[in-house]
Amino acid sequence: MHNWLFVLFMTLFLVPLFIWGFSTLQRERWQILCTVPVRKMADGSWQGQNLTYYGLFNALALCAAVALVLILTGAAGVPVMVFAAITCAILGICLPASSVIARWVEKKPSTFSVGAASFLGIVLGPWLVVPLEMIARRFTGTGFDPMAVLSAMIVAYALGEGIGRLACISFGCCYGKPMDQMPQAVQRYLSWAAFTYTGCTKKIAYAHHLEGQKIFAVPAVTAVLYSASALAGTLLYLSGSYAWAFFLCLFVTQIWRFFSEFLRADYRGDRKISVYQIMSLSTVPYGLLLPFFFPAAGPAGDIAAGLRQFWNPATILSLQTIGIIMFLRTGRSQVTGSGVSFFVKEDRI
């Protein structure tokens, strides 16, 4: 019963967020969160650094994913120090490397790819978890189930990327093709799944000049699919079905990533099948092999224990720190500029 209540709470958080985001974030108003003046110009105005909703939603997505990993691993009895070590290792490797891979694929100086980060996380995850389990067993006398950690990571990744698609809508990236270029079945049955972006500083406007056109809402569909798989995966995980939770979220996220790129209009490299698609497709057979090396199931999770592990000041402060770092990394716009001027309101003196 407690497991269902936890998933219900997650659902009640996600549904209003997505309803608001899908109806609002494609507008021009919802790209720039604020502007910080950084340098005074000769005319008396200030050059500004734009801070974006893209960074805000990426920070929210990362915090939600890390929090879910903590709660799920805590419910499975994984020590909090193991969680902390794995999280630091994964983020420390995947975030910088994903930018390098994205620049190599897209040939752009300022870009970032969640697809590259997820590929690295899925591939490197087992090679980080197993040594940590051996270290924990040697020095503490108690081990943990590696599959419980790997499954929690992929479930949390699905949730994080689902929420993170709100960042894509705000920036106008990862966009679909115009509805009139979509297959007839999509035009007929999914005509409601369309966005109309406004604002010349959104990527869809300056990269493909599609401002004001009806665009297939790939980010919204992705957000719903990934988040739904995360909710179902959470229930499977808490029932002890680690392998099934892992398979479900891996299959939904990676197969949809492969097929969704055929529906997208943004640049993903010069190949007909992009490097990102090859990455996503290759992780599926790789992931299917993991349960042959690790136990596929465990005891039912204790969600109360997971929530107790989450609800303490050190954890909350750590999540805030991670969120701030992510916001500063992805929220400082590299492709838009601004000029700011200040004046005194004489009628208020």
Asked whether residue 33 is assigned to any structural domain, the reply reads: no
**Has residue 155 been placed in a domain?**
yes
pLDDT at 93: 77
Q: Contacts by 27-34 with C-beta closer than 8 Å and gap 24+?
A: 27/198, 27/199, 28/198, 28/199, 28/200, 28/201, 28/202, 29/199, 30/170, 31/170, 31/171, 31/172, 31/199, 31/201, 31/202, 31/336, 32/201, 32/333, 32/336, 32/338, 33/331
Q: Is residue 86 very low, low, confident or very high in pLDDT (cuts 50, 70, 90)? A: confident
**Angstrom distance (rounded) from CA 149 to CA 89:** 13
Per-residue confidence band for 146, with pLDDT thresholds at 50, 70 and 90: confident
Among 12-26, 119-133, 199-213, 273-287, name the one with the lowest average pLDDT.
Answer: 119-133
Whether residue 236 lies inside any domain: the answer is yes
Quote the percentage of the chain above a pLDDT of 70.
Answer: 92
The answer to whether residue 264 sits within a structural domain is yes
- Of 327, 295, 336, 17, the C-alpha closest to 144 is 295
β-pair partners for 159? none
Q: Which residues of 123-137 are buried (b: 16+ CB within 10 A; e: fewer)?
A: eebbebbeebbeebe
Segment 54-67, tens digit of pLDDT: 999 999 999 999 99
Any domain includes 37: no
Rounded to the nearest 5 degrees, what angle is found at the Cα of 166, between the Cα atoms of 14 and 3? 25
Phi first, then psi: give them for residue 271, nearest 5 degrees: -80, 155
The pLDDT tens digits for 178-202 are 999 988 888 888 888 899 999 999 9
CA distances from 209 to 197, 198, 321 (A): 10, 11, 37
Beta strands in the chain (DSSP E): 32-40, 46-52, 194-196, 214-216, 338-340
pLDDT for 137 equals 77
Q: What is the DSSP letter of 26?
A: T
Residue 142 CB-density burial (10 A; 0-12 exposed, 13-18 middle, 19+ buried): exposed
- Residue 21 maps to a domain: no
Handedness of CA 333, 335, 341, 347 (dihedral sign): negative
Distance CA 193, CA 195 (A): 7
Q: Range of 147's domain?
A: 48-175+220-335
Q: How far apart are CA 126 and CA 138, in angstroms?
A: 18
Closest CA to 156 of 277, 70, 78, 84: 70
Query: Whole-number mean pLDDT of the chain?
Result: 88
- Please give the Cα distance from 234 to 8 (Å, whole number): 11
Cα distances from 158 to residues 136, 155, 337, in angstroms, run: 27, 5, 33
Q: Residue 76 gets which letter from DSSP?
A: T
Tens of pLDDT, residue by residue over 4-16, are 999 999 999 999 9
**Residues 246, 150 contacting (CB under 8 angstroms):** yes
Query: How many C-beta neighbours within 10 Å does residue 249 have?
Result: 27
Q: What is the pLDDT of residues 22-77, one digit of tens each?
A: 999 999 999 999 999 999 998 889 999 999 999 999 999 999 999 999 999 999 88
Q: Which residues of 44-66 are buried (b: 16+ CB within 10 A; e: fewer)?
A: eebebbbbbbbbbbbbbbbbbbb
Residue 255: per-residue pLDDT: 94
Q: How many domains does the chain contain in total?
A: 1
Q: Is the pLDDT of residue 269 over 70?
A: no
In whole angstroms, give the CA distance from residue 316 to residue 324.
12
Question: Is residue 212 assigned to a domain?
Answer: no
Q: Of 259, 82, 65, which is closest to residue 159 (Cα–Cα)?
A: 65
pLDDT at 296 over 80: no
pLDDT digits over 231-247, tens only? 999 999 999 899 899 99
Mean pLDDT score, 100-129: 73
Nearest Cα to 215, choosing from 162, 176, 185, 160? 176
- Distance CA(249)–CA(226), nearest Å, equals 8
Give me the mean pLDDT over the 251-279 stretch: 84
Q: What is the mean pLDDT of residues 98-107?
A: 69
34: in domain: no
